[in-house]
Structure 1
Amino acid sequence: MVLVVHDPERGDLRELLDFELDLAFGSDENAFELTCAEGLAPAEGQVVFVDGSEYGGIVDETSYDAGRDATGTVTCKGRTWHGVLAGKRLLPDEGSARLSVDGKAGEVLASLIGRMGLSGLFSAAADDAAVSYTFERFCDGYSGLKAMAEANGRKVAMRRRGGKVELSLPPVVDYASKVDSDLLDFTLTSVHRCVNHLVCAGTGELEDRAVVHFYADSAGNVSHTQSLFGVDEIAALYDYSNADEEKLEEEGRKKLQEYQTQGSVEVEAHDDIDVDVGDVISARDNAHGRTVTATVAKKIVKVSRGVATYSYEVGSETTTKTSSSGNAESSGGGHAYLAGKGLSLDGYTFSAEVDAVALAAVESKADEARKAVGDLAAGTVGDVAAAYPVTVQKADRRVTVGVECAGAGDANAWFA
């Protein structure tokens, strides 16, 4: 496997033959790490890719060792093509609640690429198949494309071709007849009962709170009708505090559907198989007569000295849990922070800058405080007035006040 180093302004620069690449994409990460010789390493902002494949991305940072222990290698980290898409948001048009698409797959992809401002990097493969979808509000580009593909029985594929990354929506491939213990090392988990009753709680307080119940039957079909009772019923709470009943109807159904599963598979593939995120694989255990089918959620590719190995994560961890305790999910709006003068918020970090005017004000306050302390240290005493005869004596930092009260003797007090 050969890795190409590409500069957006100058084009393809060179090919790397000796390198270490660790790349992961799908349900999370969507990032890569590349280690190669210092003189051949790409710079920040340059692109690396395996031509004709899905493997590649943009270098965001580089690091190297200096001094006596220098290795002569550079480690580059960055976003895969998937990570670039995940860094964008599919926003609805002004005045619209949701972004909806409907049309030929190739034209829909092209319009979404343009909407995200990525026409310089991505292109859309021609495809006349009809697709339609309404996106979640403010979803990221990669998650949105995957959801659209899944809703239309397809998957998101990308290949570096003709100077761009070509996006397409090919049909999902079912590898059930191709994948067995000869090609996979797998751990199979079979689930008899998963969450099948979802209590969806929305806006309001106490008895006025919006509540919707969803149920799943033994086949995983979701409705408002309960068919599993007693020990077969497993309930969970979906706490969506800012959703009305209409929103709960939509989101609650989808949430319970996510919980429906017959099991999970942890897979490590041998070199003989290379599948895409979104494809379906099955693991068969002939000794016990068990078969579990799952969708590839994440793909991990490691390349060392030109040889690639693949591993996969399939299904969703949350769908295999059978515990009925706790919440299914808690959703709600975040708090808005308003930065004052000299303050900025980057991600989750606040930074502050103090300008000359603000610094001068602080210095003035400090001078006033120093003067007040100096006056006290000098033992400054003002006039003392009283209704009875008073005597005042000062020794070092102590001031003694004597008051002659009729019939009460002398009363003394001191101030330091």
Structure 2
Amino acid sequence: MEDVIIADAKLTPRASVSQVTLDWACGTDENDFELTINDPDAPEIERGWYFWLDGSDVGGRIIDRRATVSGGVSTVTWIGQSWTGMLAAKILQPDANQDYLTVSGKLPDILKNLLKRIGLDSVFTVDSSDVSTLSNWAFQSPRYVDAYSGFRTLLASCGRRLDFKVSGNRIRLGIVPVQTIANTIDSDLVDFRVETQHRVTNHLIGLGSQELKNRLVSHWYADANGNVSQTQTLKGVDEVCEIYNYTSADAATLKTETQKHLQEEQTGGKVDVTLSDGVGDGLRVDDKVTAYDHSSGLSVTAVVTKRIVKIDSGIMASTFEVGQGIVKETESGR
């Protein structure tokens, strides 16, 4: 296992330590860490310092500490934000007198400008040659969004994801294509439990601003394959209809959000996915895993939502969590 680098508030390395205990996470709902250092060569750490594993995405900024005394022995645990947590602590918001924050240009340039906007350009270095370009892309839903979520949504619109790596004492923020790891259940690399569900909502009525007969309404429909449009194909006993209330939405926002929410419901069923260590190597948040079971004819594609890294007794282990998967059936499995 590589040593943990301890750096001061200016990102200048001050020590390399190996006797540590670490619980670090990044993703949808956890972007923090707890670090205990038992190395006698460790310097006197201060709040505002950093740590990282060179060449990896693991690291963050120390912002607090916890002292535990047991049997007369005091243990200090440093608590802080992972790189993603630092982004999540910032808000992207529209300029004064503007409806939305709008960006244009190549993705690396957009991220550089956004990092400067939130005051983190001195910490993160955008390191990417990606040529994907956006024109007048707006942060619409929500208009005020934490930078980590905003960056992920922005990049996802181009099939890209964030890629953190520390090298040369610089925290490099890369942009890479979302990868899909495909395996079969026979490989013992992906375990999953699938329950098909054909009675998902296929007609969503969005209700926006205004009142009574003047209230804004937007109808969206899903077909038998989960494709969403404003043309209804499933009717009568096959129609499953719901209401989506967005009382502050104007016409454009209501249309976009109603379509988005109906699309999110087209999962095809419920699924639990477990990844083995073999599959997890190289995976990062927003990558996808696809597994297929020949006997049932069911396949599932799930998105990685969280990455957890732990170090204990010199051994590092990574685990992943995935979100609700998309279930598909072949004709043989029907």
Q: What band does the TM-score fall into relative to the shorter chain? A: 0.7 to 0.9
Q: Please name the residue that 1:36 is paired with.
A: 37
Q: Distance in 1 between matches of 2:184 and 2:48?
A: 40
Between the aligned partners of 1:42 and 1:268, the Cα distance in structure 2 is 36
Larger Rg: 1
Checking the alignment, whether the CA contact within 8 Å between 1:7 and 1:47 is kept in structure 2 is yes
1:57 alignment counterpart: 60
Is the Cα–Cα contact under 8 Å of residues 89 and 147 in structure 2 kept in the other structure? yes
Match for residue 176 of structure 1? 182
Contact preservation (8 Å) 2:280, 2:319:
no
Structure 1 residues 285 and 164: CA distance shift in structure 2, 3 A = same
Counterparts of 1:278 and 1:261, CA distance in 2: 17
SS of 2:164's equivalent in the other structure is strand
Q: CA RMSD in A?
A: 2.5
1-structure distance, mates of 2:321, 2:186: 16
The answer to whether structure 1 residue 123 and structure 2 residue 125 are counterparts is: yes
User: Out of 229, 238, 254, which is 1:232 matched to?
Assistant: 238
**Kept after mapping to 1: 8 A contact 2:5/2:15:** yes
Q: Deviations over 1:31-89 (max 9, x none)?
A: 112233286474321111111111111112111123x6244422222111101101111
Is structure 2 residue 28 aligned with structure 1 residue 27? Answer: yes
Q: Work out whether residues 268 and 310 of structure 1, in 8 Å CA contact, stay in contact via their aligned partners in 2.
A: no
Q: Could you give the per-residue CA deviations for residues 140-162 of structure 1, whole angstroms, max 9, x where no partner exists? A: 11111100111001111111123
Higher strand share: 2
Counterpart position of 1:267: 274
Q: Quote the residue 1:349 is aligned against.
A: none
Total equivalences in the alignment: 318
Q: Choose which of 135, 146, 157 in structure 1 pairs with 2:139.
A: 135
* Gap runs ≥5 in structure 1: 321-416
Name the aligned partner's letter for residue 170 of structure 1: V
Cα pair 2:190 2:273 within 8 Å, conserved: no
Q: What pairs with 1:83-122 in structure 2 (closer than 5 Å)?
A: 83-122=85-124
**How far apart in 2 are the matches of 1:262 and 1:54?**
33
Per the alignment, residue 331 of structure 2 pairs with none
SS in 1 for 2:65: strand
- Give the alignment's TM-score, normalised by structure 1: 0.70
Q: Deviations over 1:304-342 (max 9, x none)?
A: 23322222222348x89xxxxxxxxxxxxxxxxxxxxxx
**Are 1:181 and 1:283, in contact at CA under 8 Å, matched by a contact in 2?**
no
Q: Quote how far apart the aligned CAs of 1:240 are.
A: 1.0
Separation in structure 2 between the aligned mates of residue 43 and residue 7 of structure 1, nearest angstrom: 8
Whole-Å Cα distance in 2 between the matches of residues 115 and 293 of structure 1? Answer: 35
The amino acid across from 1:103 in the alignment is G
Cα distance, 1:15–1:187 mapped onto 2, change above 3 Å: farther
Helix, strand or coil for the counterpart of 1:33? strand
1:3–1:233: structure 2 CA closer, same or farther, 3 Å change rule? farther
Give the match for residue 306 of structure 1: 314
Counterpart in 2 of 1:152? 158
Residue in 2 that maps onto 1:372: none
1:333-382 CA distance string (max 9 Å, x none): xxxxxxxxxxxxxxxxxxxxxxxxxxxxxxxxxxxxxxxxxxxxxxxxxx
Q: Which deviates more from structure 2 when the two are superposed, residues 101-110 or residues 170-179? A: 170-179
Contact 1:24–1:301 (Cα < 8 Å) also in 2: yes
Residues 1:249 and 2:255 aligned together: yes
Structure 2 residue aligned with 1:205: 211
Query: Counterpart amino acid of 1:135?
Result: F
**Matches of residues 189-200 of structure 1 in structure 2 within 5 Å?**
189-200=195-206
The residue aligned with 1:277 is 285
Q: 1-side partners of 2:215 and 2:58: how far apart?
A: 48
TM-score, normalised via structure 2 length: 0.86
Q: 1:179 to 1:147 in 2, by over 3 A?
A: farther
1 CA distance for matches of 2:117 and 2:146? Answer: 12
Q: What one-letter code is carried by the residue in structure 1 that aligns with 2:297?
A: G
Deviation at 1:189?
4.2
Separation in 1, partners of 2:177, 2:226: 23
Distance 1:14 1:179 in 2: 44
Question: Judging changes above 3 Å, is the alpha-carbon distance between structure 1 residues 178 and 290 closer, same or farther for their aligned structure 2 residues?
Answer: closer
CA drift of 1:190 comes to: 3.7
Structure 1 residue 200, shift from structure 2 partner? 1.1
Match of 2:332 in 1: none
Q: Which amino acid aligns with 1:134?
A: A
**In structure 2, do the counterparts of structure 1 residues 8 and 250 end up closer, same or farther at CA, with 3 Å as the change threshold?**
same
Alignment partners' CA distance in 2, 1:87 and 1:179: 39
Shift of 1:282: 1.2
DSSP-derived class of the 2:37 partner: strand
Measure the CA separation in 1 of the matches of 2:107 and 2:153: 14
Q: 3-state DSSP class of the match of 1:176?
A: strand
**How far apart are the structure 1 equivalents of 2:72 and 2:262?**
54
Q: Which has the higher contact order (CA 8 A, sep 6+)?
A: 2
